[in-house]
Amino acid sequence: MSLGPVMLDLAGPELSPADRERLRHPLVGGVILFSRNYRSPEQVEALVREIHSLRQPQLLVAVDHEGGRVQRFRDGFTELPATRRLGYIYDENPKRARRLAETSGWLMATELRAVGVDFSFAPVLDLDRGVSQIIGDRAFHSRPEAVADIAHAYMRGMHHAGMAATGKHFPGHGGVAADSHIALPVDERPLVDILAEDAVPFERMIHYGLEGIMPAHIIFPRVDAQPAGFSRKWLKDILRGQLGFQGVIFSDDLSMEGAKGAGDVVARAKTALSAGCDMVLVCNDTAAADRLLAGLGHYDDPVSHLRLVRMHGRENPTRQQLAQDQAYRDAVRAVSGIA
């Protein structure tokens, strides 16, 4: 059985019989965990182990674990700083910021890999334009070149820990005030301006080996009438064709308000997949997830499958090994010092 194109969430910290049945559906390829799924490192490690045992190849297990406001696992994990702190350090000492970014990326990734999580949806490659409250201090910097430089170091750390990286939110969420979780933002800028500014970190990171990208639920009407995550123009023509991206394209959550203009959940998924997404996310709506699994129909894309299996985590230290590792203790001190 190959990995399907749907990523789902779970209701609680343990798998229910309904969860197990849903995750065995051939259209499912991954699970995203949230804070409600976490009680302790021991509990989440057991949960991930059970998820991985359900299928071959193993389902992908992901989480949003950026640091700052967006860190799903807290107690028992290092408190990670908002990544904008690295940008402030970069303005004073770029070399130190790159070193701390690599350490932060490694620490984030190695703690997650120690409990079996395959990858975090990170790093954020949006620009901190002082406009978007939902982005804000989740962005590394306001300048595209600085974001790319810091994010490159952060990704090196993730790779060293055996984790693939996913940049978000293509082609950039920093230029709009509206939050796509509760509205459909519109960015009126022309394509030439977006490619010269917001898309620069994505283009650079693609050349550095970025494995995944998540597009934004934002309409850029001077480029296409569809939001970026549902747009063949953005995903196939620009991201794959012009920028040369060959990795996984994950949709943002199809349950978000910014996605609802594309119809019901089945229509949204079909539009996103046909536009170029390899995997679509449906979160916080079990009924919608069941409708999608019942209504999407047969789906088999060998190229997407090959892309997806590359998102599985590699190195997998135990938490006991980390606790005895001097490099790990040094990383915790360094990152905690900027939190």
- 185 or 312, higher pLDDT: 312
E strands along the chain, which residues? 6-8, 28-33, 60-63, 65-67, 70-71, 119-120, 166-170, 212-215, 248-253, 279-282
DSSP for 277-291, written as a single string? -SEEEE-S-HHHHHH
CATH classification at residue 226: 3.20.20.300
- What's the domain count of the chain? 1
Residue 134: inside a domain, yes or no?
yes
- Residue 252 designated active-site: yes
pLDDT of residue 184: 82
Residue 152: inside a domain, yes or no?
yes
Residue 149: inside a domain, yes or no?
yes
Pair type for strands 65-67 and 70-71: antiparallel
Residue 1: inside a domain, yes or no?
no
Q: Is the pLDDT of residue 256 over 80?
A: no
> How does pLDDT run across 151-170, given as a tens digit for each residue?
999 999 999 999 999 999 99
Tell me which of 64, 179, 181, 285 is the catalytic residue.
181
> How does pLDDT run across 65-95, given as a tens digit for each residue?
999 999 999 999 999 999 999 999 999 999 9
> How does pLDDT run across 206-236, given as a tens digit for each residue?
999 999 999 999 999 999 999 999 999 999 9
Residue 202: inside a domain, yes or no?
yes
Residue 318: inside a domain, yes or no?
yes
Q: Is the pLDDT of residue 311 over 80?
A: yes
Q: Is the pLDDT of residue 62 over 70?
A: yes
Which residue in this structure is represented by tokens 């197990």? 20
Residue 274: inside a domain, yes or no?
yes
pLDDT bucket at 198, cuts 50 / 70 / 90: very high
CA distance 150 to 145: 9
Summary mean pLDDT of the chain: 94
Pair type for strands 28-33 and 6-8: parallel
pLDDT of residue 316: 84
- Structural domain containing residue 81: 6-336
Tell me which of 224, 252, 253, 278 is the catalytic residue.
252
CA-angle at 127, arms to 162 and 181, nearest 5°: 85
- Residue 52 designated active-site: no
CB-based burial label for 221 (10 Å; 0-12, 13-18, 19+): exposed
pLDDT bucket at 263, cuts 50 / 70 / 90: confident
Answer whether 213's CB lies under 8 Å from 177's CB: no
Average pLDDT over residues 55-70: 96
pLDDT of residue 315: 81
